[in-house]
Structure 1
Amino acid sequence: MKNFYYSLYSFLLLLTLSFQASAQGCVAVRQMGGINPMLGSSSYNLQKNQFQVGASYRYFHSWRHFVGKEEQPQRQITGGGHGPDGKDRGNAVNIYSHALDFNVSYGLTSRIQLNASIPYVHNERSQVLKSTIIDTTRYSVYAKGLGDIRLSANYWVIDPAKAHHGNLMIGLGVKLPTGKHNVMDDALQANGSKLSVVMDQAIQPGDGGLGVSLEFQGFRQLASNIYAFANAYYLLNPRESNGTFKSAPEKGLEGYNVYASPDQYFARAGFMAALGKAQKLTVSLAGRMEGIPAYDLLGGQRAYRRPGYVVAIEPGVTFRTGQHTFSLFVPYNFIKNRIQSAADIASQDLQNSKITDETKKVHVQGDAAFADYSISLSYSFRFGGKKVPHLPVLK
């Protein structure tokens, strides 16, 4: 290998720039990550007093509805009569999400990096006036603005000066409730008028909770220019709800009409290879999973959320030139699952408590719209600090 550090650098760029999850539709996974604390032109970690600045843009369009893993094709206008009554509904909810993160990282030492990420979101929710038999009176509502700012510190377990073939990084962070969770917009009414109402939690810029994040990233060199890697993230949101009312309370289900401040998670693992003589181009293939659990690890559970997850295959490409780095990742979601929520179970139990015939017991499980894929573009620039001495080429 002619330049070990360039290869390793490209690998970790690929690893960290793609360490982000974004909302996948009605399952409101907030954008996380986008922080890139360990990039450089000649090493995988930030050196003492080095800075890195950059931006990450993500886009998706969700429109396919699922209950569990079963798709609801009747929500589309297909003319195929897919509904239980032989009719198409045509009332699919479409969400178009744009998220832009501005990221800054600083090397406190060669093993400790401090990070800040400031997100801005612009979300559109397209829906029909009615939700019964097909109705093409479709309109859009919007929620945009500053999202939840994230601050974190990362630590390399092994001194990077000694760890040339693999390392593990652990991180601890805080998510601030800076994004609005009660944005309102004008919704079309049946009589043709418009009424200002609270937007659905899926497009709100923030979730209203003060969260704590745990993360890790690791890599291992397998061959000359081939690496295996893995990274994971979990956000604990102890706050039960953010106080924003979804609807009027239903007797016996009080509390489930208020939006939750849910936990969220993300995991990713795969392989990458640096290409070409200069190894400025890097390609990768990874599997990833992200979602919202039905129950938080800490705090109360009596609030409304749409829990679920997606599993994706993620191809990626990264190009480096000097101190500038560009990357593109396009994860494709091949599994989409809207799992049963605490609110679903509470409603199910309430209904079944009134039914004496066991054969007529009901199962309650809401649906959610998911995206087929998302697009992530990133750019970063690194400056300051001392230059890293060139180490011998590894054989």
Structure 2
Amino acid sequence: MNTHYKSILTLMLFASLSTLQLRGQGCVAIRHFSSCGGNNLSSNLLSAGEWQIGMNYRYFKSFRHFRGTHEEPDRVSNETEVINHAHAWDFSVNYSLSNRMYATAILPFVVNTRSSLYEHGREERNTTFSRGLADVRLGLGYWLFDPARSPKGNLALGLGVKLPTGDYNATDIFYNVGPEGTPQVRPVDQSIQPGDGGFGLTVDLQFFQQLSPTLFAYAGAFYLANPRETNGVRTFRETLSPILQNESIMSVPDQYGLRGGFSYNTPVPALSVSIGARYEAVPVEDLIGGSGGFRRPGEVLSLEPGLTLMNSRTTLSLSVPVAMLRNRPQSLTDLETEQATGQPRNGDAAFADYLINFSVAYRIAPDDAKAPAPFNLD
């Protein structure tokens, strides 16, 4: 593989490393999600008939509580913080229908834990768990410009669906909350539910531009629209306070994200580094359908460094987005409660300091002995 081709593939990997994978770095984003473009854009630059298989692992620990942009450090100092540990694995298969059109299927799995006091009668800290298949995504993408004629820059548009395959009513044991303080089986918090119970529609954009022989600019964006308003799963928040009656059922919220930055091919063979910004959000109101039920809207702006190591077939990548701005805005249920009681109301949410993304991808040609490069950059 020539140097220029390797440079393009390296950029493509960074352009969608974790492809705007949205977990919100905390319990703001309700569940695991990736856009339908796959775990790296190099999979979308294959020749017709080529395949790429990949895996992306993601981890975070959320524990810092925010109301609006204000952090509440006393939650950590007095040990009342909620602590989420989230592990997610995306297994992806990408197929190039032509030099410009590609198809993607993503099979996600999650393992989550949530440690808290307030969900267990405020008497002792206990942990709830969830695990299993999350919401499967299927998608199609298309490069708007012919890669053979535009090897130094291109823009792709992707459309897809999110299927409600993940369990959105996963349960565990909650202590000190049943009759006379007995344990009780309840749905776990929506931040660790494997699925959301909604059929979603996705749109994503992916862009790159070569600025010099070793420097590239990249950008990406996606939006997940969830038309379903609520999924019927009880939160039990109304048992914490009568004023939370309007938060007794889980919402099925939208999600969206933006990324952009620069990638540089180092003098070290096969090694590239990148730096960029990453913005992720769960909106207060959905684009399509109602916005009722309980949700934790929020946004995270992160600085995202990364590195990639690749050869002709295999790509290894690591990125660690570090949160710079975290915001938990007033939700619709917060506003309803404020108007009903006349008292200010803005719920809180826990965020992580950083997120770890690690991915591996492998390209497979129909006939490795005869397969040409996706396009000639010489």
Residue in structure 2 matching 1:39, options 35, 38, 42: 42
**1:284 corresponding residue in structure 2:** 274
**Deviation readout 1:41-66 (Å, 9 max, x if unpaired):** xxx71211110001000000000100
**1:48 corresponding residue in structure 2:** 48
Return the alpha-carbon distance in structure 2 between the equivalents of residues 11 and 274 of structure 1. 9
Return the alpha-carbon distance in structure 2 between the equivalents of residues 307 and 161 of structure 1. 43
Instruction: Say whether 1:346 aligns with 2:336.
Output: yes
Aligned-residue CA RMSD (Å): 2.2
Return the alpha-carbon distance in structure 2 between the equivalents of residues 196 and 212 of structure 1. 32
Larger deviation, residues 167-176 vs 377-386: 377-386
Instruction: Say whether 1:334 aligns with 2:324.
Output: yes
**Deviation readout 1:319-373 (Å, 9 max, x if unpaired):** 0023111000000001110111010011111112xxxxxxxxx211000000000
With structure 1 as the length reference, what TM-score do the two structures score?
0.88
**Deviation readout 1:248-275 (Å, 9 max, x if unpaired):** 4998976542101100011001001111
Aligned-residue offset at 1:37: 6.2
Residue in structure 1 matching 2:169, options 159, 163, 182: 182
Q: Is the 8 A contact 2:18 2:56 kept in 1?
A: no
Instruction: Say whether 1:26 aligns with 2:15.
Output: no
Q: Is the 8 A contact 2:14 2:218 kept in 1?
A: no
Residue in structure 2 matching 1:113, options 89, 98, 102: 102
C-alpha spacing 1:263/1:392, structure 2 compared with 1 (3 Å): closer
C-alpha spacing 1:196/1:252, structure 2 compared with 1 (3 Å): closer
Return the alpha-carbon distance in structure 2 between the equivalents of residues 236 and 389 of structure 1. 33
Identify, as 1 or 2, the structure richer in helix.
2
**1:95 corresponding residue in structure 2:** 84
Which structure has the bigger radius of gyration?
1
Q: Which amino acid aligns with 1:22?
A: R
Aligned-residue offset at 1:23: 4.1
Return the alpha-carbon distance in structure 2 between the equivalents of residues 95 and 379 of structure 1. 25
Instruction: Say whether 1:273 aligns with 2:247.
Output: no
Instruction: Say whether 1:156 aligns with 2:146.
Output: no
**2:7 corresponding residue in structure 1:** 7
**1:68 corresponding residue in structure 2:** 68
Which portions of structure 1, spanning 4 or more consecutive aligned residues, are displaced by more than 4 angstroms?
129-133, 248-255
**1:202 corresponding residue in structure 2:** 191
**2:372 corresponding residue in structure 1:** 387
Aligned-residue offset at 1:3: 2.1
Aligned-residue offset at 1:106: 0.3
Aligned-residue offset at 1:183: 0.6
Return the alpha-carbon distance in structure 2 between the equivalents of residues 208 and 29 of structure 1. 11
Aligned-residue offset at 1:305: 0.2
The count of aligned residue pairs is: 366
**Deviation readout 1:141-170 (Å, 9 max, x if unpaired):** 101110000001010000111111100000
**1:16 corresponding residue in structure 2:** 16
**Deviation readout 1:276-299 (Å, 9 max, x if unpaired):** 264x11100010100100000110
- Classify the secondary structure of the residue corresponding to 1:6: helix
**1:295 corresponding residue in structure 2:** 285
Return the alpha-carbon distance in structure 1 between the equivalents of residues 64 and 284 of structure 2. 21
C-alpha spacing 1:211/1:129, structure 2 compared with 1 (3 Å): closer
Return the alpha-carbon distance in structure 2 between the equivalents of residues 179 and 212 of structure 1. 16
Return the alpha-carbon distance in structure 2 between the equivalents of residues 130 and 99 of structure 1. 24
Structure 1 spans left out of the alignment, 5+ residues: 79-87, 353-361
**1:358 corresponding residue in structure 2:** none
Sequence identity, in percent? 39
Q: Which amino acid aligns with 2:62?
A: S
Return the alpha-carbon distance in structure 2 between the equivalents of residues 130 and 26 of structure 1. 14
Return the alpha-carbon distance in structure 2 between the equivalents of residues 364 and 220 of structure 1. 45
C-alpha spacing 1:349/1:316, structure 2 compared with 1 (3 Å): same
Residue in structure 2 matching 1:316, options 301, 306, 309: 306
**Deviation readout 1:24-80 (Å, 9 max, x if unpaired):** 22212433337146426xxx712111100010000000001000011111211x3xx
Q: Is the 8 A contact 2:58 2:87 kept in 1?
A: yes
C-alpha spacing 1:37/1:285, structure 2 compared with 1 (3 Å): closer
Aligned-residue offset at 1:130: 7.4
Aligned-residue offset at 1:195: 1.3
Structure 2 spans left out of the alignment, 5+ residues: none
**1:240 corresponding residue in structure 2:** 229
